[in-house]
Amino acid sequence: MYHDIIDAEFNLDHVVVNSRGIFVIETKAYSKPKKEKAEIKYDGKVIHFGTERSETKPINQVRAGCKWIRKLLKDYTGKDFPTKGMVVLPGWNAPATTKSYKHDVWVINPAYIQSYISSIPDGRINDQDLNLVNATIRRHIQNFC
C-alpha cells in the first residue's frame, strides 16, 4: 500500500496494489448529522449524505486518480492494468447491495475495504507484473521527493 502519492497538481490518498488489481482510495471526512443516522446512499453518480447534502466531487476525484495511475503505468510499462476507485467515508454507513459492487467507483466505510477488494477475482495481475507496477510507482514517488 502506498500513501499520499503526489503529482504536480494533486495527490492520491492511498493506492493498494495486489494480484486483484490497483485500487485508488480517496478518504473523505464529513460531519455526521445530529438528528438522523449517518447513512449514505450512492447511485453510481452521486453520494447522498442523509437528507442534508449530496456530493459528486469525491467520485470525480477518484475517477481522475484511476485514470492518472492507469496512464502512468501504461506509459512506463506499455501495459493496461485493472484499476478500481474507492471513496472511503469513516463513520458513515454505506449499505452494500449487489449493485454497489458493480459501480466503477465504490463508496464504502473503511471497515469494508478488504471485503470489497476480495470480491474481485484473484490472479488478475501476475507476480512479474506486480513487481513492474510497484517499481513504477516507487520510481514516480522518488521523482517527486
Q: Could you list the pLDDT tens digit for every one of the 145 residues in the chain?
A: 999 999 888 899 999 999 999 999 999 998 888 878 889 999 889 999 987 789 999 999 999 999 999 999 999 999 999 999 999 999 998 877 656 678 889 999 999 999 999 999 999 999 999 999 999 999 999 987 6
Q: Where are the domains of the chain?
A: 2-143
| Pairwise CA distance, residues 26 & 11, whole Å | 10
Query: b/e string for 58-86 if b means 16 or more Cβ within 10 A?
Result: bbebbbebbebbbebbeeeeeeebebbbb
